[in-house]
A and B are shown apart, each in its own frame.
Chain A
Amino acid sequence: EVQLVESGGGLIQPGGSLRLSCAASGFLVSNNYMGWVRQAPGKGLEWVSVFYSGDITYHADSVKGRFTISRDNSKNTVYLQMNSLRAEDTAVYYCARVGGTYRGGWALDIWGQGTLVTVSS
């Protein structure tokens, strides 16, 4: 079965660090674009980080310098290292596979269940 399972969320104090994990099954993360999208409570979807075009990474301006996406192909897992966390980073974090479309676009075709990160003292 093709699926993504996230883990690692929780309650963390401002300034703290967390590492989110996203374990894939049914496909290889090494052969796919993989990304993290977050959703603050009651808000819309926001790109956080993505691996694309090989090992090129993108990080949103709001997390640049604080968050890092990485992957361990031997474990078929993608990670999001989050440092210097702020209250505004509170959100559900989703891992997603970014699949190519017939016309050359990209769509998030497989999503994990999400993991909640709460940054609060």
Chain B
Amino acid sequence: DIQMTQSPLSLSASVGDRVTITCRASQSINSYLNWYQQKPGKAPKVLIYDASSLQSGVPSRFSGSGSGTDFTLTITSLQPEDFATYYCQQSYSTPPWTFGQGTKVEIK
């Protein structure tokens, strides 16, 4: 199975900060990488698919980049509603389309 490693696993930031979360795959996954946001007690929702495509309705302060094994989720100007846990997930080849461990973004 392809392993997905996120870093950091948690971070503290202030409203207005620029936040970057990285995700590394154990082998090349081309651009088959998605990012999800999950708030406490809620289901995850997809933010970014195909590494850099913004899901409809997601604010433009979210962006994704990368290909191969290294990927980044960036939030420019963090907003109060962005405090949540973020997961990367690969969809290369066949299941299991594994998730990263998650990165919790907390208020500083």
Contact = CB atoms under 8 A, between A and B. Distances in A.
Interface string A99-121: 00111111111011110000000
A101 B44 contact: no
Contacts of B102: 44-45
Contact of B43 (A94, A105, A107): A94
Contacts of B95: 35, 47, 50, 52, 58
Nearest to A6: B43
Given A44-B87, A58-B94, A113-B43, A105 B31 contact: yes
A60 interface: yes
Contacts of B99: 44-47
Contact of A47 (B33, B46, B49, B97): B97
Nearest to A113: B43
Contacts of A58: 94-96
Main DSSP-derived SS at the A contact region: strand
Residue from B33, B46, B94, B95 having most chain A Cβ neighbours under 10 A:
B95
Contact of B36 (A47, A103, A108, A112): A108
27 contacts: A44-B87, A45-B36, A45-B102, A47-B95, A47-B96, A47-B98, A50-B95, A53-B94, A58-B96, A94-B43, A101-B50, A101-B53, A103-B32, A105-B31, A105-B32, A105-B34, A105-B49, A105-B91, A106-B91, A107-B55, A107-B91, A108-B36, A108-B44, A109-B49, A111-B44, A112-B43, A113-B43
